[in-house]
Amino acid sequence: MSLRSLMSMPRMLRHGSAVGADLPPDEVVTVDAVTDPALCDALSAAALGDAAPARELLAETRLGAQWERRSNCVSALATSALRHPGWLENWLDTSPDDPDATLLTAGLRVQRAWQVRTGEDAGEISDEQFRVFFSLLEEAVPMLSAATELNPTDPVPWEIALTHARGIQSPRDVFDSYWSEAVARAPHHFGCHASALQYLCEKWYGSHTEMFDFAERAADRALPGSLLNALPLLAAIEYEVVSPDPPETGPITRGRLASAVARALELSSWYEPGDPEAAEFRNHLALMLIFEQRWQDALEMFRAIGVHAREFPWAYLGESRKEFLEFRLGVRMQVASSTPFFGKPPQPAPPPEPEQIAAESDGVHRSLAIVSAAPDRVAEAALMCGVSLRIAPAPWGAGQGASGEGRAEPATGGTEGGTDTVGRRYPVDGEHRSEGPAAFWSDSEPPGPGSLLWGAGPGIPGAGPAAWRAGGPSLPAAPSPSSGACLSYVEVAPDLFPNRRTGAATGEELLTTAVAGFTTGEPWPALVLHHTAGRHGFALFGQGTVLASHQWDPAAPVLDHPQAAAVARALASAFPPAGPRPLITLLRGGDDPARRQRQLLAALGLPPLPNGFGERDDILKDAPGAQLVLRRGVLKGIRDSMRRRRP
C-alpha cells in the first residue's frame, strides 16, 4: 500500500458511510428498466400472447409522430417478440399491410441476426455464426423495404436500415443513401444519429476522426437540451473504452474529450434528477467523469441517474449492473478519502417539498383562466360566449429575479404610473402592485432569474422583451388606470337557469368553450389551468384555438424533449419568459404536479393561483373587483356589446 493510500484510509473509514448515503440502495437499481406505462402494459400482454396493447401503442406513436418514443417501443417490443414468439407472427398474418406490424417484424429479424452474431469482436465469431448472421440479415430486407413504403414519413425504418447496413457490410454509398432518407424525415432523431455513429467508428467502417467530426457537427446543429448534444460523449466512450488503441497516442486530443464531457454536463442540466430519458447519456457521462478523476462530479451524476442504470457503457467492462454498483461505490470512497478528517462531506441539495392540496382526492375537475387583458375587456369580449362567467382583476405577475435581469422596460418615461407597450399599467417604485385583501391571493414562490415584472405579453410572434424595448407592436388601448388591474382571472359561474347545453357540460368544457369564444379576434392570449385529483395541466388559447396544452400526471410517461420544446416555444411567444430552459424543465416531469403548475406561472411572470383553486368552486366570488357576466342569447349579446362600445 502506498503512503498516500495509507494516509487517506482514516478519512475513507470516517466518511465512507456518510458520502452518498442518499443514493438509492443497490437492491432497487435496475438495468434498462421500462418506465413508459403503456409500453409496460404492451410488453406484459405480449408475453401472454396478446398483441392488442402493442398495436394500440405503436399506432399512437405513428399517428402522433412520436418518433423517439416509437424507436424505443419498437426496440423493446422486438426483443419481447424474440423471447416470446407467436404474438407478432399472428398479428402480421391477420394484418399483412399494417405498417406497425411490418416495422416490428423488420426490427425483430435484424435483432435475431445480431443475437446470433453476438457483440464479440469479429475474431471471436465462428464462420457458421457469420453465415447464419448474413442469411438472417438478407431475410430482413423485404420487411425493411415494406416498412419504408407503408409509412413513408417514418424515420424508424431507416434507423433499423442503418443498423442493418452496418451488419451486412454495406458500402459507403448505401449508408449515405440510408442516412439521407433518415434525416429527411427527422433531422434531429437521436436513434438514427446513434446508429450512424456506430457505422462511422473505427471498429466498423470509419475512423476516430470521422466519428468525432460527425458527432460534433450534429451537436453543433442541435437545439439546446436535445439529446444530440450527447453524441460527442458517446464518441468519447467509444474512443476511451472500446477502441483497442491507447488514447494517449491516438488522433483525438484531450481537449476534444474534455469538450464532449463539458457539453454533456450542460445537457444534463436540462433534465431533472432521475429522468429516464437522460439515463443513457448520464451513465456514459458518469464513466467519463471517473476516467477524468472528477470524483465529486461523478457522485453528483450517480445521484442524477438514480435507479436508472443502463446496459452500456458498463457492459464494455463486465456485467452491467455489477460494474455500475462497483464504480458507484468506488466513487463514494474516493470522495470520502478526499474529505478532511474533521471536515463534513459535501451534501446534495435538498429536494423541494411537495405541495399539499387540501382536497387532492375529491376527484372533481376544476379550472381557471388567466387572461392577458383587463376585466372590462374580457367581459366585453365574453358577452356572446353563451356561458356565465365570473371575472376578477388579477394581481401583478411574479416579479423579476434578484438580479433584475429580464425586467421589461416601460414605453413611457417619468416617475408617474403609466402603461407598458402591451397596454398594461405598471406601478412606480413603492406603489402597491395589487389591491384588495392580500389573503385572497395564493403565496407565490420566489421568481427565478429573468422572469418578467409585468406578466403576459401579446400573443404576437416576435413580441418578446426586445420588441417591448423598441416600442412594441400596436395594440388596443390600455385598461383604465382606475381599474387597478392588467390581467384577469376567469371562471365559470354557477348558472341559475341552465339550458340544455350548459346543463350537460362540465366546468372544464364550459370554460374552454368560453375562452375559445372570447379570444377569437383578440390579440391577447389566455391560459386555462386545470386540476383533477393528482393531475394538473393547462391549455394555451389564442385567436380561438388551442396553441399548446400539457398535463402533469405522475402515472404518465415523461414528455420527450422535442415535445416539451414545442410547448415551451408556444408559451414563450404568448408570455415571453426568461428563456426556454426553465419551461422545458418544468414540462419534463410528472412529480408534484401542483408545484410544477405553480412554478410555471412564476416562470411566465403570471399572477399566482387564487387561494382555494382545486379545493372548491366559485373561488372568485369574494375576489376584490369581481364581476359577474351572465349568459346571454346571441341577439342580446350583440346588443349589449354594441351598447358597451358607444362613447
Task: Note the pLDDT tens digit of each residue in 309-340.
Answer: 999 999 999 999 999 999 999 998 888 777 66
DSSP state for residue 339 in the 8-state scheme? S
Q: Among residues 461, 394, 333, 368, which one has the least CA distance to residue 14?
A: 333
Please give the pLDDT value at position 494.
Answer: 75
DSSP state for residue 214 in the 8-state scheme? H
Grid coordinates of 197 = 455513429
For the chain, how many residues are written?
647
In angstroms, rounded to a whole number, what is the distance separating the alpha carbons of residues 607 and 623? 14
- Residues 449, 578 contacting (CB under 8 angstroms): yes
Grid coordinates of 396 = 401583478
Please determine, for residue 481, whether its predicted confidence score (pLDDT) is greater than 70.
no
Q: Among residues 196, 216, 220, which one has the least CA distance to residue 256?
A: 216
In angstroms, rounded to a whole number, what is the distance separating the alpha carbons of residues 416 and 430? 11
**Domain residue limits, the chain:** 1-33+201-340, 366-645
Q: Among residues 505, 470, 466, 510, which one has the least CA distance to residue 491?
A: 510
Q: Which helix (H) or strand (E) holds 628?
A: strand 627-629
Please determine, for residue 591, whether its predicted confidence score (pLDDT) is greater than 80.
no
Task: Note the pLDDT tens digit of each residue in 488-505.
Answer: 999 988 754 444 444 444
Largest Cα span, the chain: 93
**What distance lies between CA 420 and its chain's CA centroid?**
33
Percentage of the chain lying above the pLDDT 70 cut: 72
Predicted TM-score (pTM) of the model is: 0.66
| Weakest-pLDDT range from 159-173, 253-267, 508-522, 575-589 | 575-589
Which band of pLDDT confidence, cut at 50, 70 and 90, is reported for residue 4? low
| Weakest-pLDDT range from 58-67, 146-155, 244-253 | 244-253
Please determine, for residue 187, whether its predicted confidence score (pLDDT) is greater than 50.
yes
pLDDT averaged over every residue in the chain: 77
For the chain, the helix, strand and coil percentages under 3-state DSSP, each to the nearest 5: 50, 10, 40
Higher pLDDT, 316 or 544: 316
